[in-house]
Amino acid sequence: MSLLWLRVAVLLYGIAALAVLPAALYDRPRWRHVAIPATVAALLFHFVSLAEMLNAAHHRLPVDTHETQALLSLLLALAFLLVYWRYRTVSLGVFILPVCFLLGLVPAFRPGQETTPFPQFHTVWIFFHITLLLAAYAALALSLLASLLYLVQERRLKSKSAPAGAAWLPPLETTDQIALKTLLFGLPCMTAGLLIGSLIAEQTIGPSYFLDPKVLLSFAMWLAYVGMIYIRRHSGLRGRRAVYLSSFIFMVVLAVWAANELSAVHRFTTP
């Protein structure tokens, strides 16, 4: 039963990791009512699972890698809840909850060398993995385009001899909102796509998946994406600097795609 409880906890960590994004980054405090209860429930299931796991192994402290990962994930989730209880902020959850999810994947779904209990993973979930990541890439490209249009319109308005051909461009505030809201749409898609991909990888490949060059670049891209949204929302970044920042993230995306040539598990080849 310990394995079942751990899998439930991992699922709840994934839900909390998605729910904390609008709560922390999009000024949607109602999502805290999803993220915090899901984390609390995950913590309880996780604690029961770890207690049963250690009791079945007849020791009180973790002695192997999987047990250590499970304990570390539990402590991180507990630390997040303590910070939330003390300071009423969920910002750290943007980083901690996905880590809890990833640390729990290996002990939950690859405790040994057994085959995957979900053979349909490669039919439905891989479709969601690809679709969500492509949606995130499309949102990033649209945001970059809107930022470029913002720059063009800004120069047009500042110029004394503004070209009439640029009069069709929307107002600066509209263009800036398009650039920001497409980013806000793309982040949950990227987060869900990476979490689903990690789950599939743990079922089929194992922990070595996380040493793959494309995987490492993908998580670096996610961190840069979060940083870009934070900077835009809290510093009012727009204009030329916003274009530079969006261009940098887009270059990271291109690097992720280029990493297919170095990846052992992400090559786009026909079977």
pLDDT tens profile 133-158: 878 887 887 777 777 777 777 777 67
Domain assignment present for residue 93? The answer is yes
66, 91, 114 - which closes a domain: 114
d(CA 191, CA 95): 11
Residue 268 belongs to a domain:
no
Same domain membership, residue 126 and residue 244: yes
Domain count, the chain: 2
Selected residue with higher pLDDT from 239 and 68: 68
How many whole angstroms separate alpha carbon 169 and alpha carbon 244? 21
Answer with the residue of higher pLDDT: 178 or 20.
20
Q: Do both 257 and 165 map to the same domain? A: yes
**79 and 203, same domain (yes or no):** no
Least confident residue range of 28-42, 81-95, 169-183, 237-251: 237-251
Q: State yes or no: pLDDT of 120 exceeds 50.
A: no
Select, from the ranges 118-122, 161-165, 252-256, 258-262, the one with the highest average predicted confidence (pLDDT). Answer: 252-256
Lowest mean pLDDT among 15-19, 29-33, 181-185, 198-202: 198-202
Range of the domain at 100: 2-114
Tell me the average pLDDT of the chain: 76
Q: pLDDT confidence of 110, banded at 50, 70, 90?
A: low
Q: Pick from 114, 138, 165: which residue ends a domain?
A: 114
Closest to 111 in 3D by CA, of 70, 61, 60: 70
Predicted local distance difference test score (pLDDT) of residue 15: 93
* Predicted confidence band of residue 268 (pLDDT cuts 50, 70, 90): very low
pLDDT of residue 128: 82
Same domain, 125 and 248: yes
Mean pLDDT for the stretch of residues 251-270 = 61
Measured between alpha carbons, how far is 263 from 212 in angstroms, rounded to an integer?
6
pLDDT band at 167 (very low <50, low <70, confident <90, very high): low
Long-range contacts of 228-235 (CB under 8 A, 24+ apart): 228/183, 229/25, 229/183, 229/184, 229/187, 230/25, 232/180, 232/183, 233/25, 233/180
Give me the phi and psi of 13, to 5 degrees please. -60, -40
Domain co-membership, 237 together with 126: yes
Distance CA 153, CA 41 (A): 49
Instruction: Tell me the mean pLDDT in the region 47-57.
Output: 83
Digit-coded pLDDT (tens) for 123-136? 577 778 878 887 88
**Cβ distance 140 to 250 under 8 Å?**
yes
Residues 6+ apart with CB under 8 A from 128: 192, 193, 196
**DSSP tag of 114:** P
What was the pLDDT predicted at 113?
45
Same domain, 144 and 84: no
Residue 114 reports pLDDT greater than 80 = no
What pLDDT, on a 0 to 100 scale, did the predictor assign at position 63?
A: 56
Mean pLDDT of 249-260: 70
